Structure 1
Amino acid sequence: MSDTPMTDINPEIPSLRDATLSLEAGVATLTFQRHDVRNALTGTGLVDDIVDTAEWVNRNSDVSVLIITGEGSAFSAGGNVKEMADRSGAFAGDVAEQAERYRQGIQRMPLAVTKIEVPVIAAVNGPAIGAGFDLANMCDIRLASNKAKFGETFVNLGIIPGDGGAWFLQRLIGYQKAAELTFTGRVIDALEAQQLGIVLEVTEPDQLLDKARVMAQEIAAKPAGALRLTKRLMKMAQRQELPDFLDLCAVFQGICHNDPDHLKAVNAMLEAMKK
């Protein structure tokens, strides 16, 4: 998770270049606004916007959930194919130069998103292709419009998932199915994505954000400190042995038992049981 400690001095919403960011009742919503290029992540300011949002969320104790979605017909088309054809922008230079462009460019996105301390919901409004698919898979929960499509399509262009997509997808659906999707570059619809466990729910397009907000509000109603610690534990459980993990759980539980929000929640439950 983030190395930046959460502060009680909540910073203002950052000024973003190609996205909008709002906060209401503990739920922050990041909306990509580059529908002119189908919300491509290269050749736009969206990676910077994602990184800035991640850092702001981690410093802001008023944020309990983050929703990421796209304006227009696409969630994100991933890389800008025209720039690839021109060998310009993120795709210019020799091997060493391109490697550094990836490190200083789109690879900042997975590092930032995986450090977000609150639950992240991807509301996938349309196609999530290439790096756009990978971004959705970096989130904790994915809800999709029935117009959404998903594809790990890098091999179709003669490249590899340079943003870490091969790391995320196999952890989400297992190696064999991830291999099939990655090696074939096949694009799947929202229903197949749901069947594979990539998407939790599929909705009509006009119901997607409402569905995401209802889920986000349910999560945001939980004690904020426990919520952040629970997400941290779930991430750490993926890479720790059980004895070490249980030691960490003991410490985090001690923190929770000494948090005033814990006593409020317990008393509220006791009162509800009397009714």
Structure 2
Amino acid sequence: MALVVVDQGEGVATITLNMPDLRNPISDNGMIDALLAALEAADRDVGVRAVILTGAGTAFSSGGDLSKMGPGKGLRGNQPAETVRNYRDGIQRLPLAFQSLEVPVIAAVNGPAIGAGCDLACMCDIRICTSGAKFAESFVKVGLVPGDGGAWLLPRVVGWSRATEMALTGRAIDAATALDWGLVSRVVEPGELMPAAQEIAAEIAANPPRAVRLTKRLLREAQDASLGTVLNLSAAYQAAVHETRDHEEAVTAFLERRRPEFTGN
């Protein structure tokens, strides 16, 4: 059984974590490798204009596999130095990869997103969820810290105070709270989740792809850069897209009052 299933639509790739019996843990190297391969393939394919990430079954992702947390199992090595290497060579590859992606990624959170699963959702650019979804930065509940970058990711999504509350209590929040806190931008009923994600993806895919990817890249770079740096980068990206045929097509179509046809050039 494939650990990750990829469905290719018109300009949109849907990536599904496919270990429903274990609630889609993402801590094993096999799942990490499969997810990274799917994301990198989508990023390389200029025909893919948006990605939807979701989970098979009733959960988005349970995060770590608790059955593999003994010495010498999973990410935990026989010595602390080995554990450090396992994290760097394992799950910590995910936030670095998401940060470098140009293609926009929409998390369609179909159920619980727990621990590293919550952080995985935070790695995405847009998050929507079902009314039954729950989110928990629950590492402290099992005597651990966020080892996958959650301490960097979560405060940037929900703010320092709320991220600290989630991380230090380990308490799960429901979909309504996630919406109120800005962890997700939309809550829908379970049967409406994928249509809603596909609607957002289609809206993104309808725009000039080079402008979309550079806009996403600019937003990511702006997270930690100074205003002056962002302005300089904005000018450079703007110079690049001014020269595209899609920009010319957008302006021409607007003036001619017709729908534009973008080619990615």
Q: Give TM-score scaled by structure 2 length.
A: 0.94
Aligned residues: 259
Corresponding residue number in structure 2 for 1:142? 127
* Equivalent runs, 1:231-242 vs 2, <5 Å: 231-242=216-227
Who is 2:103 aligned against? 118
SS at match of 2:100: coil
Percent pairwise identity: 47
1:76, distance to aligned residue in structure 2 (A): 0.3
- Match of 1:52, as an amino acid? A
Q: Which structure 2 residue ranges, 5 or more long, are not aligned?
A: 259-265
The correspondence of residues 195-234 of structure 1 with structure 2, limited to 5 A, is 195-234=180-219
Q: How does 1:31-42 map to 2 (within 5 A)?
A: 31-42=16-27
Residue 162 of structure 2 corresponds to residue 177 of structure 1: yes
Separation in 2 of the partners of 1:142 and 1:244?
A: 28
Matched-pair contact (CA < 8 Å) for 1:17–1:45: no
Residue range with higher mean Cα deviation, 47-56 or 211-220:
47-56
Counterparts of 2:236 and 2:35 in 1: how far apart (Å)?
A: 31
1:256 aligns with 2:241: yes
What residue number does 1:188 align with?
Answer: 173
**Which whole-Å CA distance do the structure 2 matches of 1:24 and 1:60 have between them?**
13
8 Å contact kept, 2:29–2:91:
no
Distance 1:33 1:263, change over 3 A: same
Find runs of 4+ consecutive structure 1 residues off by over 4 angstroms: none
2:68 is equivalent to residue 78 of structure 1: no
d(CA) in 2 for partners of 1:17, 1:95: 32
| Map 1:54-133 → 2, pairs under 5 A | 54-85=39-70, 88-133=73-118
Q: Deviations over 1:62-83 (max 9, x none)?
A: 0110100001010000000111
- Structure 1 stretches of 5 or more lacking a match? 1-15
Give the distance between the partners of 1:85 and 1:187, measured in 2 at CA.
25
Q: What is the root-mean-square deviation of aligned Cα atoms in Å?
A: 1.6
**Residue identity opposite 1:128 in structure 2:** A
- TM-score, structure 1 normalization: 0.91
CA distance in 2, matches of 1:247, 1:86: 49
CA distance in 2, matches of 1:209, 1:263: 33
